[in-house]
């Protein structure tokens, strides 16, 4: 079947879905669905200099515009203000992380003052009626561990287990939702394979070694949190739900008629989206295809099985993939806007960072993750938007697709937007503006933007009510026999 014909058929199906939503006049989520916003310690707190990212930033040319995280958003001193701002958005979840370098600045020596600080933050979250959703590791290692090789060190799982146990023992009475790691595979590929993030390696051998240790670290931390967090903070009968956060990318073949492209896209999809989860849920030994000599022995151990109570899904974009001999490290190319458009002859909308805007991807992601049989939490989804005028459409488009998956039986429990405020976006520095609140970095003033105001209404109404749908998609109704072709499905089903 020709690509254009397939696109037309799929577009027609999506028009029917849009029509159905328009006819209903609303897209309302299940009762007790949780709306939230996300932060992470290094990106917002400021004043963190004892980790590997602060060291990495000293290398010339690694951060756009030579930015240094420095004071960031000064969230460390303004956390009460930011938590109040989250509450004012009608949210229920405040996603955050704890900075390992603050808690354990020297190997084996824990800082009680910093522990007290995070306890105060979490107390403030709860005092404002929000649920703390806490990440143990969000990309940054204390310098002492980085000096030992980070997650390539065979003892790294011991250090990670000790750190997770300390947090669970001392903060667990206030926390019921834990994620051990954020975007493990992105961290590995960016930091160990491509060298664009700390620790800056371009070595596939080190990447596989770190992967094995990160999987083991998660499993050990899972057990440590379960053992040490025995307090049911919210009274739901579960003292600690422990998961991991995956960035789910949509990887499609650049040329669907090319067997090599199809095979490469399939392998990239498995490596990036399912290898880790298969290991932690004991679902597959397909790893033999990627690392036949050591894969099953080091990545699929019985003690790793069923160490996930839920899966956090971050979703942002879609990639078109093909093999490449000019990319010897990754062995592939992943094209976004310009090359994809040139190949297909069809337009692709992108965000300010050049990522394809593809709302259907959130549907495809949760449908694929549903195979693991545990609840799914959307832990990040967002758009860099310096005008904040595209955010309402972006959120709406993704929520329409997410609700479709829920209606089909996928157990999705939350939508957590990235990010509460503008922040330091790793190698991109400060220029991308993901926040529901704009941040003036010279004064640290927060200002609610247009997209943030819209999202506040989403949370207040538990979805998109009829006036909100009309504001985004126009005045379609059940009585309109010529429902306007909805751009959401037209532009994404290609």
Tell me: pLDDT of 369 over 60. yes
Q: How far apart are CA 223 and CA 220, in angstroms?
A: 5
Contacts of 326 (CB under 8 A, 6+ apart): 333
Tell me which of 137 and 483 has the higher pLDDT. 137
- Do 132 and 170 touch, CB atoms closer than 8 A? no
C-alpha–C-alpha distance, residues 208 and 220, integer Å: 18
Model pLDDT for residues 149-204, shown as the tens digit of each residue: 999 999 999 999 999 999 999 999 999 999 999 999 999 999 999 999 999 999 99
User: Left, alpha or beta for 331 (phi > 0: left; psi -120 to 50: alpha)?
Assistant: left
Q: What confidence score (pLDDT) does residue 151 get?
A: 99
Percent of the chain with pLDDT over 90: 79
Sign of CA dihedral 279, 282, 287, 293: positive
Buried b (16+ CB within 10 A) or exposed e, 302-338: eebebbbbbbbbbbbbbbbbbbeeeeeeeebbbbbbe
Mean predicted confidence (pLDDT) in 316-326: 88
Q: For residue 100, what is the enclosing H or E element?
A: helix 100-103
444-480: pLDDT as tens digits: 999 999 999 999 999 999 999 999 999 999 875 332 3
Q: What is the pLDDT of residue 291?
A: 59
pLDDT of residue 68: 98
Catalytic residues: 183, 380
216 to 171, 192, 219, 281: CA distances (angstroms): 23, 17, 5, 13
Which has more confidence, 225 or 23? 225
CATH number of this structure's domain 31-247+355-493, picked from the four choices 3.40.640.10, 3.50.50.60, 3.30.710.10, 3.20.20.80: 3.20.20.80
Q: Is the pLDDT of residue 87 over 60?
A: yes
Mode of pairing for the β-strands spanning 310-314 and 437-440: unpaired
3-class DSSP assignment, residue 439: strand
Crossing angle of helices 3-24 and 391-407, rounded to 10°: 90
Q: Give yes or no for residue 148 having a pLDDT over 90.
A: yes
Residue where the block lists tokens 């939350």: 414
Question: Taking 80 as the threshold, does the pLDDT of residue 261 lie above it?
Answer: yes
Eight-state DSSP code of residue 149: T
Kindly report each contact of residues 451-454 with a partner whose C-beta sits within 8 Å and lies 24 or more positions away, as own/partner.
Answer: 451/385, 451/388, 451/389, 451/390, 451/391, 451/392, 451/394, 451/395, 452/89, 452/388, 452/391, 454/391, 454/392, 454/395
Separation between Cα atoms, residue 312 and residue 289, nearest integer Å: 26
Tell me: the pLDDT tens digits for 1-38?
A: 444 444 444 444 554 555 455 445 799 999 999 999 99
Q: Mean pLDDT over all residues of the chain?
A: 90
Query: Residue 485 pLDDT > 50, yes or no?
Result: no
For 338-354, what is the mean pLDDT?
A: 70
Domain ranges of the chain: 31-247+355-493
Confidence of residue 294 (pLDDT cuts 50, 70, 90): low
pTM of the entire structure? 0.92
**Residue 334: pLDDT band by 50, 70, 90 thresholds?**
confident
pLDDT computed for residue 487 by the predictor:
42
Query: E-strand spans in 72-207?
Result: 93-97, 131-137, 177-182
CA distance 456 to 90: 6
Q: Which residues are within 8 A (CB) of 211 and not within 5 positions of it... i.e. 6 or more apart?
A: 184, 188, 276, 299
Q: Which residues pair with 416 in a beta bridge?
A: 36
Of residues 475 and 369, more confidence is placed in 369
Helix residue spans in 27-74 (DSSP H): 41-44, 52-56
Give the position of tokens 């799982």: 157
* pLDDT value of position 327: 76
């Amino acid at each position: 079947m020709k690509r254009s014909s397939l696109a037309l058929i799929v577009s027609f199906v999506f028009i029917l879905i849009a029509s159905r939503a328009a006819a209903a006049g609303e897209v309302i989520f299940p009762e007790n669905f949780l709306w939230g916003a996300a932060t992470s310690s290094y990106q917002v707190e400021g004043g963190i200099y004892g980790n590997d990212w602060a060291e990495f930033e000293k290398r010339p040319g690694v951060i756009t515009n030579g930015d240094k995280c420095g004071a960031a958003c000064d969230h460390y001193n303004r956390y009460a203000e930011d938590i109040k701002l989250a509450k004012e958005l009608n949210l229920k979840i405040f996603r955050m992380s704890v900075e390992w370098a603050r808690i354990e600045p020297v190997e084996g020596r824990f800082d009680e003052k910093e522990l007290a600080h995070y306890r105060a933050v979490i107390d403030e979250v709860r005092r404002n009626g929000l649920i703390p959703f806490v990440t143990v590791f969000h990309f940054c290692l204390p310098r002492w561990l980085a000096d030992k090789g980070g997650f390539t060190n065979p003892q790294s799982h011991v250090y990670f287990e000790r750190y997770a146990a300390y947090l669970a023992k001392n903060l667990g009475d206030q926390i019921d939702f834990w994620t051990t790691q954020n975007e493990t595979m992105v961290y590995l590929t960016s930091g160990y394979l491509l060298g664009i993030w700390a620790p800056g390696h371009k070595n596939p051998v080190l990447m596989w070694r770190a992967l094995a240790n990160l999987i083991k670290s998660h499993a050990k931390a899972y057990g440590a949190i379960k053992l040490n967090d025995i307090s049911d903070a919210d009274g739901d009968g579960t003292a600690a739900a422990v998961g991991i956060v995956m960035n789910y990318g949509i990887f499609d073949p650049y040329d669907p008629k090319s067997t090599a492209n199809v095979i490469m896209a399939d392998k990239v999809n498995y490596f990036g989206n399912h290898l880790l989860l298969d290991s932690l849920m004991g679902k597959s030994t397909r790893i033999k295809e990627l690392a036949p000599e050591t894969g099953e022995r080091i990545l699929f151990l019985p003690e790793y099985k069923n160490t996930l109570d839920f899966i956090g899904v971050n979703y942002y974009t879609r990639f078109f993939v093909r093999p490449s001999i000019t990319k010897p490290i990754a062995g592939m190319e992943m094209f976004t806007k310009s090359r994809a458009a040139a190949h297909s002859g069809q337009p692709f909308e992108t965000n300010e960072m050049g990522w394809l805007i593809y709302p259907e991807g959130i549907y495809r992601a949760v449908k694929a993750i549903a195979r693991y049989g545990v609840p799914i939490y959307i832990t990040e989804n967002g758009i860099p938007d310096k005008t904040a005028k595209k955010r309402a459409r972006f959120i709406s488009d993704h929520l329409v697709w997410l609700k479709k998956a829920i209606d089909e039986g996928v157990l999705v429990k939350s939508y957590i937007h990235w990010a509460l405020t503008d922040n330091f976006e790793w190698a991109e520095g400060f220029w991308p503006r993901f926040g529901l609140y704009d941040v003036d970095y010279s004064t640290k003033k927060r200002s609610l933007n247009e997209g943030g105001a819209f999202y506040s209404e989403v949370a207040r109404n538990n979805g998109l009510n009829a006036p909100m749908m009309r504001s985004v998609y126009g005045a379609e109704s059940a009585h309109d026999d010529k429902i306007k072709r909805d751009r959401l499905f037209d532009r994404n089903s290609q």
